[in-house]
A and B are shown apart, each in its own frame.
Chain A
Amino acid sequence: MLRASGLSRAKRAKKRRRPPGSRVGKTLLALFNLGFYEKGNAIERKVITVSDIREVLHAEIFSGEDRVNAPVTAGTASDLMSDMLTGQNSGVVLMTGLCNVQTIRTAVIADVAAVVLVRAKRPTREMILQARGHGLALLSTPFTMFTACGRLFSKGLRGVELKAPD
């Protein structure tokens, strides 16, 4: 039976669930993404959101629920926190199997946007408190490191390298 609005109940429910401002956010992201389509050996990339990461990685979120529309510019994966302190990691998502409070402190110092614990690792209470205190998104995915990286890559997220080697 057709309804007056022309939308099925499921479609109307989906429309209601859409968070306010998400269309504006998506437009801004699309415009931002255009800036990366450069000539030469620049790597084509997309900026995604914490919300996209949660969806693609079937992840549970422990901190940063209020900032799921925050942009994530690139991805990196490491269990070695020393590596996170070298190079530019500002605004990126860190995939890691290292599940202790130093993961959070290193992420804060390196100014990363989100931390994803792989292999369904659960953050400790101290990690959650620290992440919340510093406005850092903290998630946990059941996927392994390799699969988690691959899934985000297939969504257009790229590594921190801006250019391919000559």
Chain B
Amino acid sequence: MAEVSKRFFIKARDFVRAGEGAIQVQGLLKSIGYGADLIRRISICAYEAEMNVVMHGGDGELLLMIEPHRIVLEVNDHGPGIQDIELALQEGYSTATPEHREMGFGAGMGLPNIKKNADSLDIQSGNGEGTCLTIGFRLDAG
């Protein structure tokens, strides 16, 4: 059971607001007083996941859950889903459009970077089924 949970709505293709949820997550974690490295890792994962939803996923939501021994980010969307999860986890693989690249994204580093910064990552997705990322961080890891 989460001691604190907060939900942020993510709108598809809204590049003006994209990333605001992650910045609010960062602000909340700073106000609680977690270590700088843990905040950096969680903020980066939240931002990468949020940008993925904005760019590829259709509308979705970012859920932050703070539990006694871990912090969990759950990111759901109603988009087309990931056809080949193993391929999507490879650095450099990208289905980004020129519009995404104009915003400075689409280098195929999003999911690999989430995996690198998280203590655990679970991806549930399928063709046309949307995507659910569950990203975990141990609180004893600092």
Interface residues of A, Cβ cutoff 8 Å to B:
79-83, 85-86, 90, 98, 100-103, 105-106, 108-111, 126, 134
Contacts and interface: CB of A to CB of B under 8 A. Distances in A.
Nearest to A86: B113
8 contacts: A81-B105, A82-B109, A82-B110, A102-B18, A102-B103, A105-B18, A109-B47, A126-B16
A111 B16 CA distance: 20
B1 interface: no
Interface in B5-22: 15-16, 18-20, 22
A82 B107 contact: yes
Q: Secondary structure at chain A's binding surface: helix, strand, loop or mixed?
A: helix
B44 A102 contact: no
Interface of B: 15-16, 18-20, 22-23, 26, 36, 40, 43-44, 47-48, 103-107, 109-110, 113, 116
Contacts of B105: 81-82, 102
B109 A85 contact: yes
Nearest to A108: B23
A134 B24 CA distance: 11
A102 B43 contact: no
